[in-house]
Amino acid sequence: MLARRPLHAACLAIALSFAVEAKAQDSLSPDVIALIEAQAAKIRELEARLARLEARDEAPAPIARVTAEVQPKPAESPVSLAQAAGPAPPKPAGLSPPTLRGRAQFDALVYNNDEGSQSTGTEVRRFRLGAKGDLSEQLSYVAEADFGGAEVSLQDVMLTYELADGRVISAGHFKPPITMDELTSSNETLFLERSAYASTFAPGRRLGVAGRAWGEQWGLSGGLFGETEDGDLDTEREEAWLVALRGYVDLLSGEPALHLGLSAYHTGMPERGPGVWLRVRPETGRAPRLLDTGAFIADEGTFAGVEIGYGAGPLTLQAEGGGVDYAGAISGPDFYGWSAQAAWRWTGESRPYDIENGVFGRIRPAKPLGQGGLGALETGVRVTYLDLGDETVDGGEMTTYGVVVNWLPITRLRLSANLIQARIERLRSSPVDETLLTLRTTIDW
């Protein structure tokens, strides 16, 4: 405001000079008088503008508002506010939001035998619901149950603790690490059912604790387990137990993959119970159990098996075989079997090798339906042999030949047709030939 005072004084001096000059002259021309009046009007206009500027200088609140609207907010102001408020409270530890998971598999079956009889049927093969999530940075959980069939059954229900990168320990209800086919998820198996070899000799989910470790080209897992969770405890007895171990290597590291693995378990039987009883279907759900050892007494059993797999682009090869040796005071039968399968993806996709679990994984269509393609198309063949006859036990022999076609229009939807030809031979009966066709729709999330 003080800077404008000299301008005001100068204007007044000019006006006074014109007035003195006008008074000194007795007579002025009309042009001079008009000029003086114009200068006086200009001076009054300047004075009015100065008054308005002085009024703005004396009103700080409007000036502050105008400045805030025109100038951007300093970048450091949020930091200053946060520092003024003190350090932020730590994030509360606890459950993370669970991720829902599940799968639904619907089957239509046609069953024929060599006697000319035929039967058809439908079933909900699997309907699983569950969740998984993290309790902390190192502790995770998964809980899943199957509602397919007449009874609800537990699937994977366990806690997993990460000791370090590639080192975990798990406790709960899950599968012992036995055979490659058994450890492959039903969402990702080539055929609709696992081979008769794997389903017979793998011990199934049990309560236990296990550890896993893996690197870029190898994996190792092992654990201690009890008996299956539906074991009958209404009599006085000791529970069965099982120790399992599996190791594998990828001899080629990456693409292509060459898997070589070994798995084994040793199990002790309960002191009292029905003993061992093996009953096997011909690799089709709801089919008759054509192999049957009947119940026999054994004190312990030992299994050993070998696995080999090869994956290169659209080609996957897989084979495994082994046997179990039971020992007891009355009988000690040895059973064995094997399976071999090959798959080809006509649309070029691969089944990626999972070094963490030592299995071949999920197909992901390169061109899903509705996105420039028709999805992935896969065909496969399999041969399985199983011998459950030895000493006093005559469970029979079974050979199966299978063909499968899988169409995946999108990653998590699969439509399949699975044809199985089975031949069953027993010592005191004629061979039986069975033909089984299964159509399945699978969706998982």
CA 153 and chain centroid, separation: 21
Full pLDDT tens readout for the chain, 445 residues: 444 444 444 444 444 444 444 444 445 667 667 777 777 777 777 777 766 666 555 444 443 333 334 344 444 444 443 344 455 555 455 567 899 999 999 999 999 987 778 899 999 999 999 999 999 999 999 999 999 988 899 999 999 999 999 999 999 999 999 999 999 999 999 999 999 999 999 999 999 999 999 999 999 999 999 987 655 555 566 778 999 999 999 999 888 999 999 999 999 987 766 678 999 999 998 888 989 999 888 999 999 999 999 999 999 999 999 999 999 887 789 999 999 999 999 999 999 999 999 999 999 999 999 999 999 999 999 999 999 999 889 999 999 999 999 999 999 999 999 999 999 998 888 899 999 999 999 999 9
**What total number of domains does the chain contain?**
2
DSSP for 70-98 reads: HSPPPTTHHHHHHHHH-SPPPPPPSPPPP
Q: Does residue 383 share a domain with residue 237? A: yes
| Domain contains 156 | no
Q: Which residues pair with 221 in a beta bridge?
A: 212, 246
Q: Does residue 114 share a domain with residue 35? A: no
Which pTM was predicted? 0.76
Q: Does residue 67 share a domain with residue 180? A: no
Q: What is the largest CA-CA distance in the chain?
A: 157
| Domain contains 169 | no
| Domain contains 165 | no
Q: Does residue 383 share a domain with residue 299? A: yes
Q: Does residue 400 share a domain with residue 331? A: yes
| Domain contains 215 | yes
Structure tokens, 114: 């060599």
Distance CA 46, CA 54 (A): 12
| Domain contains 388 | yes
| Domain contains 418 | yes
Distance CA 106, CA 115 (A): 28
Domain boundary among 72, 93, 115: 72
Place of tokens 């079956």: 109
Q: Domain containing 315 — which CATH number?
A: 2.40.160.10
Q: Does residue 229 share a domain with residue 357? A: yes
Q: Does residue 68 share a domain with residue 107? A: no
φ/ψ region of 435 (left if φ > 0, alpha if ψ in -120 to 50, else beta) reads beta
Q: Does residue 373 share a domain with residue 228? A: yes
Distance CA 330, CA 324 (A): 17
Do residues 327 and 300 touch, judged by C-beta distance below 8 A? yes
Distance CA 170, CA 266 (A): 20
* Domain residue limits at 43: 2-72
Q: Does residue 223 share a domain with residue 321? A: yes
pLDDT tens digits, 55-103: 555 444 443 333 334 344 444 444 443 344 455 555 455 567 899 999 9
Q: Does residue 42 share a domain with residue 114? A: no
Domain boundary among 31, 57, 72: 72
φ/ψ region of 370 (left if φ > 0, alpha if ψ in -120 to 50, else beta) reads left
Do residues 436 and 287 touch, judged by C-beta distance below 8 A? yes
| Domain contains 168 | no
Phi, psi of 270 (to 5 degrees): -65, 150
Q: Does residue 237 share a domain with residue 108? A: yes
Q: Does residue 183 share a domain with residue 67? A: no
Peptide bond into 74 cis (omega under 30): no
Reported as half-sphere exposure (CB side, CA atoms, 13 A), residue 24 has a value of: 6
Question: Nearest to residue 258, comparing CAs of 308, 197, 326?
Answer: 308
| Domain contains 87 | no
